[in-house]
Structures are given as C-alpha cells and as structure tokens.
Structure 1
Amino acid sequence: MFTGIIEEIGVMRRIHRQGQAMVLTIGAIRILDDMKLGDSISVNGVCLTVISFDKESFSVDVMPETYRKTNLRKLQTGSRINLERAMPANGRFGGHMVQGHVDTTAVMVSRTPEENAVVFLFEPDNKLMFKYIIPGGSITIDGISLTVVDVSEHTLTVSIIPHTLAQTVLQDKKPGDTVNLECDVLGKYIEKLLGFQPAPSSGKTTDSKRMPMTAAYLAEHGFM
C-alpha cells in the first residue's frame, strides 16, 4: 500500500517493448537506498515489482493489462516519473490509502493559475468512475494523493499548491496529456457491501432467505 506522497521524480532510462509487454528501467537516487528484489514501487501511481536494480536505476515489468489501462504505454526515454516506495508498517500516513491499482486514465483539459495555486481540470476516460468521486474526497492522480475540489458530469478539478507542483511531474503536464486515476478504495468497498447478494446454495434453505446488503437492511439490524 502507498500513501500518495511522492518521494522522488525518476527519469526513464530504457524501454524494452514486446507487443503490449514492457520492461522499464528508471533512473533514481533516493528510493534505491533500501531497495530489494520484489519490492513494490508506485510508478506514476501504478504498483509495479522491482525485478532488478543497481546503484543508479531499477527495472520493472509491465504486463499487457497494465499497458492497456494506464499511461505507462505513453512513456518515452527521458520521461519524468513520480515514484513512491510502499509504506512501511511504522510509517507516517501522509496522504490516503493508495493501492496502486489504476481505475482509468484521464485527459488534462486545462491548468489555470489561482493566486498561489494551480487548478487542474481533468476528464476521465471511464465515466463510471464518477460514482466514486466526490467534492472534498480523495483521489490519486499519477500517484499523487489529492483532494477533489469540484465534480461535473464529465470532469473533476483539483487545486495544487506550489510544493506539490514542484515535487511531482504535474509541473510538466499540459492540456491533452494523459494521467492515471485511482479512486478512493473505501467507496468501492461500500458499494460492494451495499449491493452484495450471495448466490443460493443447493440444499440450504436459509441461503435463499438472505437479504441484500442495502442501507435499509443495515438500518433494520442496527448498523446505521
């Protein structure tokens, strides 16, 4: 698990492509300090596994599913990348719970200065994700833990302070660029619980009497 607090901006050294599979070699400094084979690293918000490393870089595999679902397929040699190591058990929880499982990509529509901040407007590719996006809620953009400012039918906005802009690849983004989005996992679990209906089991009459996990059901049984 990650927290969405970017530790370092890495630089793409090499990209080996084979169809929709890739091996990425990324130059870094800070996150190499305690790196081990098999470590999880958030690469632009995508949880990837370290398959090799040296004193100046590390390599990760990208499988076809990840290639299709994220903006990693758009990376080029020299691209700058947000990096974060998995949070240690005794670590400080600086952002929010981030899995590194990208839900959809989004296109930057605009970036507008507003006094000491910059307001970014994004349009997600998968509109079904809007059920998990609320004003004031958490969202992960290219691995960065951010707070949603506003939501419309097709877009969402976030406001970025100077420190976050300087420490992440958002400073490089311009209208038309693609970013990775991960919605808050809490909303996904709540949706699953409220809509869950167990499949009937043969020979057990009690299974057919189970009620779906709805708000009314929870209230009736004292959970709300």
Structure 2
Amino acid sequence: MFKIEIKWHEITNQTMKELKDALSFYNYSFPIEVRETESVFLQSLRYAETQKLNNYHFIAGYQNEELISIVTAHYLADVNAGFIVYLVTNPKIRSKGLGAKSLQKIEEVLQQDSIHAGYDSLKTIVLETETEEMVHSEKEKEDCVKRTNFFMKNGFYKVEDFLYFQPPIHDDGVDVPLHLFMKQRTEQEISKSEVKRIVKAMYVEKYHHGNGIEKEVLNTSYRKMNLEKHDLFCD
C-alpha cells in the first residue's frame, strides 16, 4: 500500500521562504477570480501574533522537500471551534490519503489551541463549501460532489436549514450563499444557537480581522442570514 510520509511546517511571517512557496502553491491551485490576495494571509498571521487565545494557522506539508499540501484555519476561542478556510493538496498524489492526513493534522493543531484556551477538547470544526447552484459545468459539478463526499467521509455533516452567506471577499461587493459543514468533536450536539455564535465568530475573526472587510459590509451580509435582531457590529 502506498504510504505518504509528510513533514509538517507551521508557516509564519518569519519563515519567508516557506511562506513564499506556500503562497505560490495556493495561487497555482486556484483561478484568479476566486483567490484571496496574499495580504489576507499576511494580515491573518500578523493578527494571530497579537492574540492570547484566538489563533490562525498556515500549515504546509512536505514530502522529500516537495510542498504537497497546505491547510489554513482559525481557532475561535469564544466558541471553542476551528474554522478551516483552505485545504489544498498536490493533484498528482490525490486519492492516496493526503487530504485526510491534512485534515487530521489541522485538527490536532486546533485541539492544542482548545486546550491552551482552557477547554478539555475542541468542540467542533466548521468549513464552507460551494452549493450545487454555483457550478457551471459537469466537471465543476463532479468536483463539488467529490468534495462533499470527502468531507462527509471524514466526519463532517452539512448544517441543514441554515441560510449562510460568505461576505464579499472581492471588490465586486457580492456575498455568496454557501453550505456550512461541521464536524462534532464532543458528545454534546451543536445547537442552532451555537451555530449562530460560531458564524458570528467566523465573521469577526476571519473576515474582519483577517480580510479587513469593513464593519458595515459585514453587517449587510450578516443581516441577510436573519441570525438575530442586532447587527454584527453595533458601533
């Protein structure tokens, strides 16, 4: 059986060579119209350095000095949840367990964040995936189904009956309806009110502090989800 030996590196603002390689890997993996700018990654790393409990991770996996995987995630201390933003693997070695190993690695890292924040265990992990309505071709539809099956195979489930929008990450000002997928890591079920709190933390930590999206823009997207009577930011 093919076995992948991976050496994991935590990317920081101080590891400039690895950071440059990881960003090149990211840019190569996504078409320009859906990429976030490199400044978002740099800002997220800088912001994490100022935090005591919240955190941001940019993990790179190497095989024989070749970069084969990157995964990024935020730890949201107030809700004891991890938010996986990107998981990208080398297409030449997919279907060999690399994606699952990358998920396992970031889960271990987020678990350590949870313990550092004073919890016994990380409560849940959340991520966004595109909806079926977003695909434009049979190939994209096939990839969408594969991603959904991959996450479900690795313990995630789709949050049903929950309207979610990714706020505008590009200059077009368009927010995007997406699915939320979650992985429960404790026996206690995640209630709808807890999902709402997690989404609020995602908006504040990732999209405001990480992406630098203005508060009023985020408030507009937040209102569309009908999560509560108050805006995300009330000042």
Q: Which has the larger radius of gyration?
A: 1
The structure that is helix-richer by fraction is 2
**Length-normalised TM-score, structure 2:** 0.29
Higher relative contact order (CA 8 A, sep 6+): 1
TM-score (norm 1): 0.30
Question: Greater share of strand residues, 1 or 2?
Answer: 1
